[in-house]
Amino acid sequence: MKIGFIGLGSMGRAMAGNLIRAGHEVTVWNRSAGPVDELAALGAKIARSPERAAQGELVLSMLANDQAMREVFLDGGVLAAMDPGVIHINHATVSVALTHELIALHAAQRVGYIAAPVFGRPEVAAAGKLNMLVSGDSVSVGKVTPLLEQMAAKLWPLGEDPVRATIAKIAGNMMLAAAIESMAEATVLTRAYGVSATDFLEIMNNTLFASPVYQNYGRMIAEQRFEPAGFAMALGHKDIGLALAAGEGEKVPMPLASLLRDALTEALAAGEGKLDLSGLSQVAARRARLDQRGQ
């Protein structure tokens, strides 16, 4: 299948690589050259502009945020360059408001639009083991399901409205950030009383919270290992903002999301936006002045 892939960050690069290895003809575009060269070595074709990557049967995108999506697909003319009947699969986490806009603009262009955001870190994407939320026109989804299954361990269908997958991903990321913040605060509390983060989290991750999120991020917190980031705090801050905006749109109070936004804003103000989301433990430790206590 002829596929265009736009946006080759750590996640997009891994996903595109799996499609190349599966035998698809993949044309790639990215703002920076490094990931493009890496995929070219695997057999990808290089597009000199994003519109040139949008000439296949399918266009997949994994851009960082609303602004990048707007700059490339709307202001940059990629959507206008797509032929009627082409399907665009957006894997990025974007706002509900932009999703509504994209649905309307794709329909006017007679281009299919499927929201297919993913749960999983870059190493999970590289292994083709993502969990992928999927919503869009059922006929279009049926056409692309075999391809999506080459990048994911499981597809989670959420109906024909792309907003559903979008909001489920936003809500899931909010829950992830809340879990990490709870571990961050709890480990700072135990450290203040002489119990190491390693000991405390080993207990929690093998008793009350024996789940991948707590185990994987707990290990990073215990080891104070915040780089390289699989899910950067800057992106977490963006996603919590999306959750708050979505809540505002339907008059849903989000007090916990507001707390998380404040913690992540503090991290960004300290220049820690590129650190992994597990770096919230560093924010909590700084608030408690543990270093000054020698903890």
- Asked about 169 being catalytic, the answer comes back as yes
CA angle 16-17-21, nearest 5°? 120
Identity at 233, one-letter amino acid code: M
- Residue 209 corresponds to which tokens in the numbers above? 């919270």
Given 169, 238, 251, 274, the catalytic residue: 169
CA–CA separation, 273 and 22 (whole Å): 35
What separation in angstroms does the CA of 86 have from each of 2, 76, 89, 99, 135? 11, 18, 10, 18, 16
CA–CA separation, 104 and 136 (whole Å): 13
User: Which of 30, 34, 25 has the alpha carbon at shortest distance from 12?
Assistant: 30
Q: What is the DSSP letter of 277?
A: G
Strand 2-6, strand 25-29: pairing: parallel
Lookup result for tokens 């292994």: 127
Which pairs from 279-283 meet CB under 8 Å and 24+ separation? 279/226, 279/233, 280/177, 280/180, 280/181, 280/184, 280/233, 281/180, 281/183, 281/184, 281/187, 281/188, 281/197, 281/221, 281/224, 282/224, 282/226, 283/184
Q: Please give the positions annotated as active site.
A: 169
